[in-house]
Amino acid sequence: FPIIRAQNSPDFVPDAKFYKVEAILRPWRIQQVSSALLKMGIRGVTVLDVRGFGAQGGLTERQAGSEFSEDTFVAKVKMEIVVSKDQVEGVITKIIEEARTGEIGDGKIFLTPISDVIRVRTGERGEKAERMMGGHADLSSALSTS
């Protein structure tokens, strides 16, 4: 049963039509990231102000000690973007391009399969709900038919 074995393996990636790209980034890079995403037709984005610690540790960019306490959480912004599977790599590449400084604390991206998307206004589900007017799919089909 190769499928069952794959599901049991630790690096199994569930296949889905949609994925959530969750990016934890430097707050002062968010504007740059979101306008680049908008330019490529990514119109549905949720942002949350968060605080965290990673390798960056304390509040300053270069802190000798690696100690941390609650008052050394660094302010970050989490962007959540649900996109169709074929748009995932493009979105990730764009986020890295726009958010990267090369210094510790640039952030991290997590990828999660999404079971369904439901548009509250219409009750649409799946692809109909995930597609947005003038969104990435619209832009690329307009390009290929013109």
- Indicate whether 57 belongs to the interface with ligand GLN (CB under 6 A): no
Q: Which pair of structure tokens corresponds to residue 25?
A: 């980034």
Nearest Cα to 39, choosing from 111, 134, 129? 134
Q: Which pair of structure tokens corresponds to residue 133?
A: 């007017």
- Indicate whether 82 belongs to the interface with ligand GLN (CB under 6 A): yes
Question: Please, what is the minimum distance in Å from the beta carbon of residue 10 to ligand ATP?
Answer: 28
- Indicate whether 123 belongs to the interface with ligand ATP (CB under 6 A): no
Question: Please, what is the minimum distance in Å from the beta carbon of residue 31 to ligand GLN?
Answer: 17
Task: Output the 3-class SS for 97-146.
Answer: HHHCCCCCCCEEEEEEEECCCECCCCCCECHHHHCCCCCHHHHHHHHHHC
- Indicate whether 78 belongs to the interface with ligand ATP (CB under 6 A): no
92 and 109 Cβ atoms separated by less than 8 Å: yes
* Sheet strands side by side (includes 107-114): 46-52, 74-84, 18-25, 107-114
Interacting positions 37-66 with ligand ATP (CB under 6 A): 44-46
Query: Of ligand GLN, ligand ATP, none, which one sits near residue 121, judging by CB under 5 to 8 A according to partner kind?
Result: ligand ATP
List contacts with ligand ATP (CB under 6 A).
Answer: 44-46, 80-82, 119, 121, 132
Contacts with ligand GLN, residue ranges (CB under 6 A): 42-44, 81-84, 87, 130-132, 135-138
